[in-house]
């Protein structure tokens, strides 16, 4: 495994720390995914109820992420062989094949480098984190959930689609935005527009005009 620096907290706009590690799909190096989006997410442990429900949902949605040119990459402190046993149990129970890589991180090196685990922690019981990493390796969004609350795959897909749409159009995604919905234009802070609008809110809140 690549020696990576411990980070208490990563921020949006920073480059994701690179690493190489074993996974259920072979050796994985994060920087090998440059050129496409990556959803890098951690889960507390294999063979747990909430994590199992999440992995079933993510495996069922894998094609939707692929359509958005996004790779799924999971992380857990459990060993590689525990991962294999768990995904076999998921297959036998739900008929779902978890094909995206699940990385082993028994020493917490990767989790700590990404700030997924508190400094000095001996386990990952508080870890349930999503990192949306763009094709340049830059962290564009982060979401954290507690141990007892499962994540929404629909919200993961929506966030990814919104990030891509904002990049492509230069516009803003409003609250609850879904693919195909209107986006908002970036405000133009100049006095002529501010005083010239009949609607006093229109200069800063206006739908993007399609080109």
Q: What is the pLDDT of residues 147-166, one digit of tens each?
A: 889 999 999 999 999 999 99
Task: Name the architecture of domain 20-152.
Answer: 3-Layer(aba) Sandwich (3.40)
Q: What is the dihedral of CA 52, 56, 57, 60, to 10 degrees?
A: 170
pLDDT, tens only, 39-93 = 999 998 899 999 999 999 999 999 999 999 999 999 998 999 999 999 999 999 9
Residue 51 appears among annotated catalytic residues: yes
Q: Are the C-beta atoms of residues 52 and 79 closer than 8 Å to each other?
A: no
Q: H/E element holding 83?
A: helix 80-94
Q: What counts of helices (H) and strands (E) characterise the chain? A: 6, 7
Of these residues, 9, 51, 70, 144, which one is catalytic? 51
Q: Taking the model in full, what pTM does it have?
A: 0.88
The ranges of the chain annotated as CATH 3.40.30.10 are: 20-152
């Amino acid at each position: 495994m690549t020696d990576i620096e411990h980070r208490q907290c990563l921020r949006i706009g920073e480059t994701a720390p690179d690493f190489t590690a074993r996974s259920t799909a072979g050796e994985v190096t994060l920087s090998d995914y440059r050129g496409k989006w990556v959803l890098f997410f951690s889960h507390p442990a294999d063979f747990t109820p909430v994590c199992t429900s999440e992995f079933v949902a993510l495996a069922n949605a894998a094609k939707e992420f692929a359509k958005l040119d996004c790779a799924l990459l999971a992380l857990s402190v459990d060993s590689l062989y525990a991962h294999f046993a768990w995904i076999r149990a998921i297959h036998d129970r739900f008929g779902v094949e978890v094909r995206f890589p699940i990385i082993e991180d028994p020493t917490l090196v990767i989790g700590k480098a990404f700030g997924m685990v508190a400094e000095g922690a001996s386990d990952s019981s508080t870890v349930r984190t999503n990192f949306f990493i763009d094709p340049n390796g830059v962290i564009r969004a982060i979401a954290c959930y507690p141990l007892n609350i499962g994540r929404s795959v629909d919200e993961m897909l929506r966030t990814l689609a919104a990030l891509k749409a904002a990049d492509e159009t230069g516009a803003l995604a409003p609250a609850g935005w879904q693919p195909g919905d209107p986006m908002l234009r970036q405000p133009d802070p100049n006095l002529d527009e501010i005083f010239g609008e009949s609607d006093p809110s229109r200069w800063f809140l206006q739908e993007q005009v399609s080109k």
